[in-house]
Amino acid sequence: MTKYGMIIDISRCTACYCCFAACKDEYWENDYLPYTAAQPRYGQFWMNIEKKERGKYPYVKAAYMPVPCMQCQSAPCIDAAEDNAVYRRDDGIIVIDPEKAVGQKKIFEACPYGAIYWNEDKNLPQKCTFCVHRIEEGKTPRCAQACPSHAIKFGDLDDPDSEVSRLLNSDTTDILHPEYETSPLVRYVDLYQMNTLFIAGAAVFADTDECAEGVDVSLTGNGVNMKTFTNNYGSFEFDGLAAGVYRLDFTIDNYAPKSLDVQIEEEVYIPAIMLERR
Ligand code: SF4
Ligand code: SF4
Ligand code: SF4
């Protein structure tokens, strides 16, 4: 059996919008019956680029997450449809029938990911099709083909040699909103950049006022035990954290150990952590 899947690597996405533009080019004014009617020029984002900014000046991180239809194997849009207007193919792709779905606004309202758009002119719910018409011609989806960063990977999840199945089996992918319990065929690498916190800072040798390079920094508490070293700017970072109370410990030869308790509800940057010579 073939089961198509898409794995999107958030660390590779630069928000260049090539995927969005390619999708628009593929579907604007182009019907691909029986899979979809043409996408309107404005108002629909079948590949929607969400942005997340974390931290505050002077330490800010930005991440971008492309969001297509998740191709849920337990799909609320199928449940909401009448007359089998939404169906799942044997290869896992979820299709909104562009004829049967006319007037069925409940389909549009059923998607927890907001991946369905309502076409007012056609009175029709529409969404990403995984480019099923291209797959049937042996091609990859336009968005995956257009991405210059190889952030969008597409293939057969049932093929053990495919890149997507290797990534899936390497346990490095996550589901967006697992609480929806929809078993999506779209997964993400480095999703933590969208939904977790970080603690970062910079250490300084108090006697010389120089950046403290090579300091052993550990973070414990809240179920976490992480280690790193400061870089040549004295900087360190722990990412992928939940809100809670943590302890930071700094150690390096010839300087007194230093500890800090940090409670985080949002991202934290601690400038100039002074280390005193023994
Ligand atoms: S993401 Fe939304 S539109 Fe896509 S299959 Fe899931 S419920 Fe349906
Ligand atoms: S898979 Fe095709 S329809 Fe879906 S977002 Fe990519 S280009 Fe658009
Ligand atoms: S084309 Fe690739 S890098 Fe550009 S926005 Fe889309 S996923 Fe991100």
Most ligand 2 atoms within 8 A of CB, residue of 6, 13, 129, 164 to mutate: 129
Confidence category of residue 155, pLDDT binned at 50, 70, 90: very high
Under a CB-based contact definition with an 8 Å cutoff, are residues 118 and 111 in contact?
A: no
Nearest ligand for residue 153 CA:
3
- Say yes or no: CB of residue 8 within 6 Å of ligand 1: no
What's the mean pLDDT when you consider all of the chain? 97
Q: CATH 3.30.70.20 residue ranges in the chain?
A: 4-193
pLDDT for 20 beyond 90: yes
Residue 236 CA, ligand 2 centroid: distance in Å: 38
Nearest ligand for residue 36 CA:
2
CA 136-142-145 angle, to 5 degrees, is: 105
Atom 2 of ligand 3, nearest CA residue: 147
Whole-model pTM: value is 0.92
Pick the closest to residue 164 from 183, 193, 189, 138 (CA basis): 189
Q: 3-state DSSP: the chain helix, strand, coil percent, rounded to 5?
A: 15, 40, 45
Most ligand 3 atoms within 8 A of CB, residue of 7, 8, 17, 19 to mutate: 19
What digits encode the pLDDT tens for the residues 74-93?
A: 999 999 999 999 999 999 99
Q: In what order do the strands lie in the sheet with 173-174?
A: 152-156, 4-9, 186-189, 173-174
pLDDT for 192 beyond 90: yes
The CATH number of 196-275 is 2.60.40.10
**Hey, is 146 helix, strand or coil?**
helix
Atom 2 of ligand 1, nearest CA residue: 111
Q: Spell 155-176 as b/e; 16+ CB within 10 A means b.
A: bbbeeeebebbebbeeeebebb
pLDDT for 139 beyond 90: yes
Q: CATH 2.60.40.10 residue ranges in the chain?
A: 196-275
- Say yes or no: CB of residue 126 within 6 Å of ligand 1: no
Confidence category of residue 171, pLDDT binned at 50, 70, 90: confident
Residue 179 has what pLDDT? 97
Reported residue count of the chain is 278
Q: Measured between alpha carbons, how far is 235 from 212 in angstroms, rounded to an integer?
A: 8
> Which atom of ligand 1 lies nearest, measured to the CA of 184?
6
Residue 7 has what pLDDT? 98
Residue 125 — φ and ψ, nearest 5°?
-80, 140
- Say yes or no: CB of residue 20 within 6 Å of ligand 2: no
Nearest ligand for residue 67 CA:
2
Confidence category of residue 29, pLDDT binned at 50, 70, 90: very high
What digits encode the pLDDT tens for the residues 106-134?
A: 999 999 999 999 999 999 999 999 999 99
Residue 42 CA, ligand 3 centroid: distance in Å: 19
Residue 78 has what pLDDT? 98
Q: Measured between alpha carbons, how far is 263 from 240 in angstroms, rounded to an integer?
A: 15
CATH classification for the domain delimited by 4-193, as one of 3.30.70.20, 3.40.50.10470, 3.40.50.970, 3.40.50.880 = 3.30.70.20
Most ligand 3 atoms within 8 A of CB, residue of 8, 17, 26, 150 to mutate: 17
Q: Measured between alpha carbons, how far is 187 from 209 in angstroms, rounded to an integer?
A: 46
- Say yes or no: CB of residue 72 within 6 Å of ligand 1: yes
Q: What is the DSSP letter of 22?
A: H
**Hey, is 97 helix, strand or coil?**
coil
Under a CB-based contact definition with an 8 Å cutoff, are residues 60 and 54 in contact?
A: yes
Under a CB-based contact definition with an 8 Å cutoff, are residues 254 and 231 in contact?
A: no
Residue 109 has what pLDDT? 98
